[in-house]
Amino acid sequence: MIMLQIGEFSKVCQVSVKTLHHYDKLGLLMPAEVDRFTGYRYYRTEQIDTMNYIQRLKRYGFSLEEIQHIISLSDNRVISARLRQQKEKLKHEQQERAIILNELQTHISVFERTGDIMTYQKSYTIEVKNSPAMNVLANRAMMGVDEFGKYYGMLFERVPKEQVTPTGLNGARYFDEEFNHESSDVEVFIEIKEKEKADIILEPQECAMTVHRGGYSTLSEAYGAIVSWIIENGYEYAGAPFELYIKTQFNSPSPEDWETEVYFPIKKK
Amino acid sequence: MIMLQIGEFSKVCQVSVKTLHHYDKLGLLMPAEVDRFTGYRYYRTEQIDTMNYIQRLKRYGFSLEEIQHIISLSDNRVISARLRQQKEKLKHEQQERAIILNELQTHISVFERTGDIMTYQKSYTIEVKNSPAMNVLANRAMMGVDEFGKYYGMLFERVPKEQVTPTGLNGARYFDEEFNHESSDVEVFIEIKEKEKADIILEPQECAMTVHRGGYSTLSEAYGAIVSWIIENGYEYAGAPFELYIKTQFNSPSPEDWETEVYFPIKKK
DNA sequence: TGTTGACACTCCTGTAAGGTCAGGGTGTAT
DNA sequence: ATACACCCTGACCTTACAGGAGTGTCAACA
């Protein structure tokens, strides 16, 4: 039986000896034999395949722990499902990064035109105005940002059933003081024409408001701008802030065209 | 002067208090004032902008250390250059990931067709044959994989000067036993017709050889397959292995169409 | 004036996937 | 006998924080 010392095995697989030590300790890939006296590790040539498989899964973005789990699976359908899921995750990440890349691109050109690195992000104009009156179907729950779509879906399912007419204006209210990406107390809503069929009638209210242009990853900048305006102008909060999605992915594929109105109910101190 | 306590500042900026502690310790974003007796941190509203800027740079993929450095820069040209460089890096990463995604896609479909997770990667047919005789222009140096293009460029520059005729066949030889992605002793070469003008004349040699189909991130699997074949069939190494790039990005934009021949000089033990 | 609850502080440990020593044993060739 | 390549373990380092323990601060309410 031909056995490879760790150094040779590491060269063949093109991974470091340290990595092999690490995998051994984790139990992810253990040498076929270990000399009881010297502790020397010996690998079999078949283990090269396993190693390649591991490296492959690593490239696919699995953690070592997940890899260990996947390797232990025997049901092909489960493995397949897991791979497909990972594929969706990678796709999603690709999209996110494409958006960031676009933002960086825009940032660079604005910066080179204005000479001010901050211009791009602090160009919010804050207005004081009454929020619009709206009759809405609403759905309040603890949810993460990724689940917005799901909750909107639930609202739109009610449209034909309850014979209401959406105006096309959608939004969300945030009831938690602190915003958490994974889970916050959020109410998503869609405006409808029929006042009598509405879940909630949102009355006009004095608000500090601004328009955020661009993808949602930078929305917190709009919030920051409003909040500092509120503080500096001697107002205070008077309710849950909300957003209206004016232009979204349904209007334009590129995030820099999107528009979101951010409203913060306020009152004079 | 209005000051924000850490909790409020964290909500406005949508970062955790922990993060603010962390940035304070690093000196990346220090509170405008710290109570000398209680240690309480107080932030100014202007610092919201700075925080947004930091978060932005973070999204662009800079490390906190780099961000600290960038913020300290005053020369706009330097900042601009740094942003552009980062943009290129992100672009490059996007491409790499697109390739991986493609690979995963292929892997899934092969797996679902064959029911064997390994099929996709271990389908190398090893042949014993003589490597082709070649007259080549060559360039040997310590280089990283990312620099291959540069060294090929240097070779192709010589083509008109030295009036040689490339056949279109290119390759690389690896002189280091252990392959290192950042720096290895590599010789890149291009085949030419004119024997008398060649830097090196590669003589035919008995080799274990296989064809690798797909992107270069999985080339080590081909090496693994050959090496285990060599060991199991009682041969041993007899020189530096090399690759011939048969189909590359110039033939097809999608990596799954690429073809690389891998040769390992061998002799019977 | 005492207590409660929200908020703040510091310090310690942990994460993922190894890298980088330090200190020492093993095996073969000269 | 010694050089040199190769192997071992164990401890600490990296990034960007998160979590928790134990303790202090502050304003409001009884």
Q: Which domains does chain A have, with CATH numbers?
A: 3-72 (1.10.1660.10), 79-118 (no CATH), 127-268 (3.20.80.10)
At residue B227 the predicted structure's pLDDT band, cuts being 50, 70 and 90, is confident
Spatial separation of the C-alpha atoms in residues A82 and A66, rounded to whole Å: 10
Question: Residues A78-107: pLDDT tens digits?
Answer: 999 999 999 999 999 999 999 899 889 989
At residue B179 the predicted structure's pLDDT band, cuts being 50, 70 and 90, is low
**pLDDT(B123) > 90:** no
Mean pLDDT of chain B: 90
- What integer is the mean pLDDT of A187-212? 93
The pLDDT, as a whole number, for residue B178 is 65
Spatial separation of the C-alpha atoms in residues A94 and A99, rounded to whole Å: 9
**pLDDT(A182) > 70:** no
Spatial separation of the C-alpha atoms in residues B105 and A92, rounded to whole Å: 14
The pLDDT, as a whole number, for residue B182 is 65
**pLDDT(A181) > 70:** no
DSSP annotation of A29: S
- Structure tokens given for B55: 């978060």
CB spacing of A60 vs B218 below 8 angstroms: no
- What integer is the mean pLDDT of B125-152? 88
- What integer is the mean pLDDT of B192-208? 93
| Least confident window among A100-104, B26-30, B96-100, B115-119 | B115-119
- Structure tokens given for A193: 């024409």
D24: residue with closest CA to C1': B38
B17 touches strand C (CB under 7 A): yes
At residue A243 the predicted structure's pLDDT band, cuts being 50, 70 and 90, is very high
Q: How many residues in total does chain A contain?
A: 269
CB spacing of A117 vs B220 below 8 angstroms: no
Spatial separation of the C-alpha atoms in residues B8 and B222, rounded to whole Å: 57
The pLDDT, as a whole number, for residue A27 is 94
CA angle A240, A254, A229 (to 5 degrees): 35
Residue A48: its H or E element? helix A46-59
A63 and chain B in contact, CB less than 8 A: no
- What integer is the mean pLDDT of B249-265? 87
What percent of chain A shows pLDDT beyond 70?
97
Q: Is B163:B142 a contact under the CB 8 Å cutoff?
A: no
A64 touches strand C (CB under 7 A): yes
User: Which chain B residues contact residue A111 at CB under 8 A?
Assistant: 76, 79-80, 83
**Among B residues 186-225, those touching chain A with beta carbons less than 8 Å apart:** 217-218, 220-221, 223-225
The pLDDT, as a whole number, for residue A138 is 95
DSSP result, chain B: --EEEHHHHHHHHT--HHHHHHHHHHTSS--SEE-TTT--EEEETHHHHHHHHHHHHHHTT--HHHHHHHHH---HHHHHHHHHHHHHHHHHHHHHHHHHHHHHHHHHHHHHHHS-TTTTTS-PPPEEEEPPPEEEEEEEEEE-GGGHHHHHHHHHHHHHHHT--EEEEEEEEE--SS--SS-EEEEEEEEES-GGG-SEEEPP-EEEEEEEES-GGGHHHHHHHHHHHHHHTTEEE-S--EEEEEE-TTT-SSGGG-EEEEEEEEEE-
| Maximal CA-CA distance, chain B | 84
The pLDDT, as a whole number, for residue B122 is 67
| Least confident window among A87-96, A260-269, B173-182 | B173-182
Q: Which nucleotides of C are covered by protein (CB under 7 A)?
A: 7-10, 16-20, 25-27
Mean pLDDT of chain A: 90
The pLDDT, as a whole number, for residue A179 is 62
Identify which of A11, A46, A53 has the shortest CB distance to residue B177. A11
Q: Which residue has the higher pLDDT, B175 or B101?
A: B101
| Least confident window among B106-115, B225-234, B239-248 | B225-234
The pLDDT, as a whole number, for residue A178 is 66
Distances (CA, A) of B195 to B52, B163, B166: 63, 12, 11
CB spacing of A90 vs B104 below 8 angstroms: yes
At residue B208 the predicted structure's pLDDT band, cuts being 50, 70 and 90, is very high
| Residues of chain B (54-93) having a beta carbon less than 7 angstroms from strand D | 58, 63-65
Spatial separation of the C-alpha atoms in residues A259 and A248, rounded to whole Å: 7
**Among A residues 72-131, those touching chain B with beta carbons less than 8 Å apart:** 76, 79-80, 83-84, 86-87, 90-91, 93-94, 97-98, 100-101, 103-105, 107-108, 111-112, 115, 117-118, 121-122
